[in-house]
Amino acid sequence: MANNSIRFAVFVFLIAAIIIPLSTFAQEDSVTFPPDSKPYERTYADWTAEWWKWYISIPTGDNPINDPSGERCALGQKGPVWFLVGSGGGKAERECTIPAGRAILIPAINVDCSYAEDQSLRTEDDLRACATSDQDLVTETAATLNGSVLQVHRVQSPVFNLTFSVDNVFAAPVGPTKVVSEGFWVFVKPLPPGQYVLHVQGLLVDPTVTGPVNLVEDSTYHLTVENLESETGNETVTIANESSSFQ
């Protein structure tokens, strides 16, 4: 975290041969939403703003970013998209159960900029420039699902309203503010019931006076997708066993 901002680095790796029921997916990346799509009648960018509202709404003590086991991964989850966080720095290994029929949105490095966190920011253009300059430091992002490489999309949110509550994870001043976020995101379409291992990591290099500082995050999720609410479509696609990594 820098300047009361948080970055989540993501490298997605799902192990095990699985057959995924999907409907009308693109050949080159059959399981993620493209950035120009409108999943569930909202833009991709709008969903990234919703991710931040969810994340900030959970007090520090209960926040999934501070959860070593994953027992709190369901806190605040509602609607058709399930939000996941990274490790917050270093390594984390968690378990999480997700209802079938939910998409998954997870950032592969992201940042937020707000008036509350940085009082030198005075205009909406300042907010956008702040977020963009931070994400310009990203040097590596990658994502795979069951070994198949997925696309990671850089997306900036619209300006949105956010209220920092008492005991928020950034220790930001309590009250309403305006925010812009930007990041590299993976937006996975609903997975069929089953067991998954989701591995996420990434890299950001921040040059300083004394040399570059590397931000590396590494998270492993043991996911169980259960048919609790709805099922995905009848079409299926096999995810090839390929992988991608970086040092």
In the chain, domain spans: 11-238
What values do phi and psi take at 235, rounded to 5?
-70, 150
CA distances from 15 to 1, 69, 101, 178, 242 (A): 30, 20, 20, 40, 10
pLDDT of residue 29: 61
| Percentage helix, strand, coil for the chain under 3-state DSSP, each rounded to 5 | 15, 40, 50
Between CA 215 and CA 139 the distance in angstroms is 10
pLDDT per residue rounded down to tens, the chain (247 residues): 444 444 444 443 333 333 333 333 333 467 899 999 999 999 999 999 999 999 999 999 999 999 999 999 999 999 999 999 988 877 888 999 999 999 999 988 889 999 999 999 999 999 999 999 999 999 988 877 777 777 889 999 999 999 999 999 999 999 999 999 999 998 999 989 988 887 777 788 888 767 777 887 777 788 899 987 444 443 333 344 444 443 3
User: What's the pTM?
Assistant: 0.82
What values do phi and psi take at 35, rounded to 5?
-70, -20
Between CA 55 and CA 153 the distance in angstroms is 20
